[in-house]
Amino acid sequence: MSKRSLLLEIGCEELPSSALKTLGEDLHRLVCNKLAELGLSHGNSYWYAAPRRLAVQIDELVEQGPDEKREALGPPLAQAKDDDGSWTRAAEGFAARQGLKPEDLQILDTPKGQRLGVEQVLPGAVTREALPKLVQECIQELPVAKRMRWGSSRLEFARPIHWLTLLFGEESDFGTVLGIAMGRTSRGHRFHAPDTISIPSADSYTQTLRDAHVVVDFAQRRETIRAQVQKAAEDQGATAVIDEALLDEVTSLVEWPVALLGGFDEDFLTVPAEALISSMQSHQKYFPVVDGNGKLLNHFITVSNIDSRDPGQVIAGNERVIRPRLADAAFFFKQDLGHSLESRVGKLDAVVYQKQLGSLGDRARRIERLAAQLANPLGADADIAARAGLLCKADLVSEMVLEFADLQGIAGAHYARHDGEADALASAIEEHYWPLQAGSPLPKEAVATAVALADRLDTLVGIFGIGQAPSGSRDPFALRRASIAVLRIMVEKDLPLDLRDCLELARGGFASIALDEAVVDTVLAYLLDRLPAFYEDQQVPVETVRAVRATGCTQPRDFHQRVLAVQEFRGQEEAEALAAANKRVGNILAKAKDFHDNIEVSDNLLQETQEKELFKVLSRVDQENKTDLDAGRYSEALLRLAALREPVDAFFDEVMVNVEDLSVRNNRLALLAKLRQQFLAVADISQLAG
């Protein structure tokens, strides 16, 4: 069967840059899924996306899908006709459902005897006939956040559609879809190739577009921009700062990228580099340039969408545009330096944080109190931690942060240093927002760590305390992110903190606010519920996390050590058998109504050799494990339990627990309780049993 390449291009007005890549991927997924539903096999497939187009190319697409053999069974032959030889209602109904007359049905042999039925061979889908409907469905089903309608048409899409290109090999006669003619006509670059262009075949698509000044492949265009930006900087003996999100956005804005180096007045470099970088990246979509030491230079790189005959004019235009933006940053910075951070704390009282929890000023004072309480166990200076907590939100009312919101913390750190505050305090103001996202750096110093934890614990206790827990996808106070941050900080920095103790301290800051009485337990459970997700990235199975969770451990550092120990234990040959035995022990003890855990094992009541041996080995392991457990050496303690496998197996093979003699029965139950206690000292190993 012959095969051909398929090309679908949706041409429209400029698509939103934030959604371009996702739209390209989604269109590709839709096309491939619909071809699969039709049984139309193909080779490699590709998606393309540029500001004015989305496209999908499919290699080696069959012209027709395979025939499908279909068998439908009706009533048994004996029930197909009446005594007078007429077709029964069952036979007629079955035939009607198949679109046939009863006499056209077949008699089929089945394991349950002969039945009326029909065997049909349905021809496979013809690709060229299926394409118009496929295109229409893909346009209608493409996930678009906000759809537009234009003209008198009821057609809706992300942006008005101006052309549809559909080629199957070289064939292009596919009629119209949603009132738009489909064919081989496309359009090139809006300025370099404004006239319509003809695509000879699906295979020639990317080259034809390149000849028309459109690099249609998103990934290729992205790497072209990266290479051009890097070279523009290297030509100046410098390095370009390439933010990956910005690179994606710029890639979504241009069809024919041309990187150009511009500059600005060196006087602007007196402004904090972060403010200048924020202005260049967020507002102008420029790439900043730094020297070999990472110091910002008075250059920037812009990516133009045209290959100008006079690039100097393009550069000059961008330099004129950036100058007032940098001037604004310089003005705000100068204005802010006229007021100390401490003087801004009072202004926080006028900013509502949450109507039931008070102002940002109230919140700052709670963080001040809590940071000081957390400082000592972290080895931080309590006075500096308290002051850092009080000042950490002060830059939110500065001119700079009001204009450049992404500079919160960064601006405050600069102002703190200008005010002569301790360096640890200044760093804490910036770093208490860390980690900014999954996998990003944690606060470095002890003071910053104390403030970072205080900030998030205050949020968790306060918001949960007024009944505003996250629900579904709604999490306006980012409590999930705050929870993961707390766990990451405590685990990765190996902090000697207990979650319950920390939450109790945070609860104390709301003495004048009515919070839910159970808020500490609620938030503690919420934090612990985040642990499976926290460990998922580390390839730790959820069963391991549950096993440790069952111990009631609330100290993240200790919890982590137990998780590592259980993971190591799971690799032992004896682990599965011991987990199953532990589960069995738990079931036996749960059913023992007259038994109490405080019953001690009596040597005199041990009768069978196997129970005596188990008690002997268990007593030795118990004694040897005490030191390791006290020191948190959980791996050593768990691995030592491997020695229990043989005596445990022998016990269950040879010893009956539920004997009539109550004293003997309770003694054996006490032995099993002692065994279970050993495993529970680290984790509930029974959770690992399949």
Query: Structural domains in the chain?
Result: 3-65+126-211 (3.30.70), 69-122 (no CATH), 218-337 (no CATH), 342-529 (1.10.3210), 567-688 (1.10.730.10)
3-class secondary structure for 429-465? Answer: HHHCCCCCCCCCCCCCCHHHHHHHHHHHHHHHHHHHH
Edge-to-edge strand ranges of the sheet holding 161-168: 45-50, 53-62, 3-12, 161-168, 180-183, 176-177
The pair phi, psi for residue 456, each rounded to 5°, is -75, -40
Instruction: State mean pLDDT over 682-688.
Output: 83
Dihedral angle, C-alpha 515, 518, 521, 526, nearest 10 °: -60
Mean residue pLDDT of the chain comes to 90
Q: Where are the beta strands (DSSP E) in 159-204?
A: 161-168, 176-177, 180-183, 185-187, 196-198
Dihedral angle, C-alpha 300, 302, 307, 308, nearest 10 °: -60
Contact at 8 Å (CB) between 60 and 43?
A: yes
CA pair distance 274, 411, nearest whole angstrom: 8
* Pairing status of strand 196-198 against strand 185-187: antiparallel
Q: Above 70 in pLDDT, residue 210?
A: yes
Give me the amino acid identity at 238: A
Contact at 8 Å (CB) between 505 and 374?
A: yes
> How do residues 313-363 score in pLDDT, each as one tens digit?
999 999 999 999 999 999 999 999 999 999 999 999 999 999 999 999 999
Structure confidence at residue 152 as a pLDDT band (50, 70, 90): low
The burial of 320, by beta-carbon neighbours within 10 Å (0-12 exposed, 13-18 middle, 19 or more buried), is given as exposed
Q: Which percentage of the chain shows pLDDT scores above 70?
A: 99
At residue 256, the pLDDT reads: 97
Angle, vertex CA 377, rays to CA 372 and CA 379, nearest 5: 85
CA pair distance 300, 364, nearest whole angstrom: 38
> How do residues 448-495 score in pLDDT, each as one tens digit?
999 999 999 999 999 999 999 998 788 889 999 999 999 999 999 999
Instruction: State mean pLDDT over 567-582.
Output: 80
Q: Above 70 in pLDDT, residue 153?
A: no
Instruction: State mean pLDDT over 239-254.
Output: 96
Q: Specify the residue for token string 């030889």.
A: 85
Contact at 8 Å (CB) between 647 and 620?
A: no
Contact at 8 Å (CB) between 449 and 490?
A: no
Q: Above 90 in pLDDT, residue 221?
A: yes
List CB contacts of 120: < 8 A, sequence separation 6 or more: 69, 70, 71, 72
Q: Above 80 in pLDDT, residue 1?
A: no
Q: Above 90 in pLDDT, residue 179?
A: no
Count Cα atoms within 13 angstroms, Cβ side, for 212.
Answer: 20
Q: Specify the residue for token string 């051909």.
A: 4
> How do residues 190-202 score in pLDDT, each as one tens digit?
999 999 999 999 9
Give the number of residues written for the chain: 690
Instruction: State mean pLDDT over 595-616.
Output: 79
Structure confidence at residue 583 as a pLDDT band (50, 70, 90): confident
Q: For 123-127, 426-430, 651-655, which range has the lowest pLDDT when averaged over its residues? A: 651-655
Structure confidence at residue 591 as a pLDDT band (50, 70, 90): confident
Instruction: State mean pLDDT over 140-151.
Output: 82
CA pair distance 259, 657, nearest whole angstrom: 81
